[in-house]
Amino acid sequence: MASDNSSNLTLVTVTVGTPPQDQVVILDTGSSDLYFDSSSAATCQGDGPNSCRGGTFDSSKSSTYKVVAEAPAFDTAFGDGSTASGPFAEDTIGIGDVSIAGVEFGVADKVNSTT
């Protein structure tokens, strides 16, 4: 029997880039990487139930964005069958009143979301 853990998610609003772009991320202590869904990902183009509902990151709108490893350097999969892949990049990340420059994260330009 599959379990639905959606009610147990901890969501956090952060910003990425300069100027800041709002993102809602899942605070997941079982994952090793922070990543953002790219605005260019095909899955993120629609508004269906599996679309990128936490926001998307448009790297072309950030003056401080830098690719540190080309795709598919970032490549992850989850127990529900969802996958995400793309480059590793760095940029400024903000949480509340705190901003940190040079944070490395994945940019998911290929997203397969099952939930």
Tens digits of per-residue pLDDT, 8-41?
A: 789 999 999 999 999 999 888 777 889 999 999 9
The DSSP output letter for 57 is: B
Q: Return the structure tokens found at 31.
A: 């994952």
Q: How confident is the model at residue 2 (pLDDT cuts 50, 70, 90)?
A: very low
Tens digits of per-residue pLDDT, 93-103?
A: 999 999 999 99
CA within 13 Å, CB half, 16: 28
pTM: 0.86
**E-assigned strand segments in 17-80:** 21-26, 35-37, 66-77
